[in-house]
Amino acid sequence: MRLILLGAPGAGKGTQAQFICEKFAIPQISTGDMLRAAVKAGTELGIAAKKIMDAGGLVSDDIIIGLVKDRLTQPDCSKGYLFDGFPRTIPQAQAMKDAGVPIDYVLEIDVPFDAIIDRMSGRRVHPASGRTYHITFNPPKVEGKDDVTGEDLIQRDDDKEETVRKRLQVYNDQTRPLVDYYSTWAVQSNASDKVTAPAYRKVSGTGNVDDITASIFAVLK
Ligand code: AP5
């Protein structure tokens, strides 16, 4: 199983990625988590990325493409992978196509923007694992603590309302065009393509988390 999760910031990609990766025993490749790890480690990349992330912008395509290509050489990717938050621009998608990285499904999780602002203010994360909660809609068993490790949960720096609005605008301008890119790949494919067109699937991301997981599993047959 090799798939891309597509959706606006806060659509529930990280939340659903956990269930999909568990079911198919594949690694979650989240470029956001990779960048946050670099920020925490204080690397040169992390210092540069933090400024961009806190402003709600996108880190440069070259850096992101390099990170993902490196990650794909790890042995755990041999049985499949889930891309969460990648690709996010047409050049990122094109780089994967040109490199012959196979994808079986592109799964779009669709949530209206007005629902997203509420979700982000209540989000809490476990930085070490990337596990995601919501204080009301998907609370941890113990308030403020990760279910698996019991460690503290934190609020992300880029979850302030003003930054979320900027991220949604960036999504509209730079990432939404991927919906067309992937949903029309099959009809536009040609003999020079190194990989076959992925199947495009779309599910609603509003409602109960378990119901959304069930509808995702139903379309990933
Ligand atoms: P990234 O970490 O990828 O953030 P994002 O795509 O903006 O997505 P989020 O993680 O914010 O949301 P999500 O869809 O995973 O939602 P979640 O499951 O947490 O990127 C961060 C930054 O890094 C970017 O802004 C950019 O600067 C940089 N970056 C990353 N990748 C890049 C790339 N490829 N190129 C360039 N730059 C890149 O859910 C949200 C909340 O809602 C949670 O609290 C959750 O519990 C709750 N929730 C989930 N489902 C439901 C539901 N059904 N009902 C109610 N609440 C729900």
pLDDT at 2: 97
Which of 36-45, 72-81, 186-195 is predicted with the least confidence, judged by mean pLDDT? 186-195
CATH of the domain at 73: 3.40.50.300
Task: Say if residue 27 is preceded by a cis peptide, omega within 30 of 0.
Answer: no
* 8-state DSSP, 140: -
131 and 84 Cβ atoms separated by less than 8 Å: no
pLDDT tens digits along 117-133: 888 889 999 988 889 99
Is 14 flagged in the annotation as binding? yes
191 C-alpha to ligand 1 centroid (Å): 35
Active site (annotated) includes residue 176? no
Question: Residue 91: pLDDT band by 50, 70, 90 thresholds?
Answer: very high
The answer, yes or no, to whether any atom of ligand 1 lies below 6 A from the CB of 138, is yes
Q: Which residue in the list 50, 97, 119, 123 is annotated as catalytic?
A: 123
pLDDT tens per residue across span 16-31: 999 999 999 999 999 9
Residue 49 is part of which domain span?
Answer: 2-219
For a substitution probing ligand 1, which of 5, 13, 94 has the most ligand atoms within 8 Å of its CB? 13
8 Å CB contact between 77 and 165: no
Ligand 1 atom 1 nearest Cα: 32
Note whether 26 and 82 are within 8 A (CB): yes
d(CA 120, CA 123): 5
- How many whole angstroms from 101 Cα to the centroid of ligand 1? 23
The answer to whether residue 188 scores a pLDDT higher than 90 is no
> Comparing C-alpha atoms, which of 79, 95, 76 is closest to residue 87?
95
Regarding the beta carbon of 12 and ligand 1, being less than 6 Å apart is answered yes
Residue 112 CA to residue 11 CA, distance in Å, equals: 8
Which ligand 1 atom is the nearest neighbour of the CA of 135? 44
| Distance between CA atoms of residues 32 and 21, nearest Å | 17
C-alpha 56/C-alpha 59 separation (Å) is 10
- Location of structure tokens 């599993």: 217
Is 13 one of the annotated active-site residues of the chain? yes
* 51 among known catalytic residues: no
Residue 184: predicted pLDDT: 87
Rounded to two decimals, the ipTM of the complex is: 0.95
Does the active-site annotation cover 2?
A: no
Q: Is 86:4 a contact under the CB 8 Å cutoff?
A: yes
Which pTM does this prediction carry?
0.92
Domain count, the chain: 1
Give the pLDDT of residue 118. Answer: 83
Query: Is 123 annotated as contributing to ligand binding?
Result: yes
Integer Cα distance of 128 and 200 in angstroms:
31
User: What number is the average pLDDT over the span 75-81?
Assistant: 95
Q: Which run of H or E residues covers position 110?
A: strand 105-110
Q: How would residue 186 be classed by pLDDT, with cut points 50, 70 and 90?
A: confident
pLDDT category at 170 given cuts 50, 70, 90 is very high
Residue 73, SS3 per DSSP = coil
Mean of pLDDT values over 46-65: 94
Q: Is 132 annotated as belonging to a binding site? A: yes
What's the confidence (pLDDT) of residue 174?
96
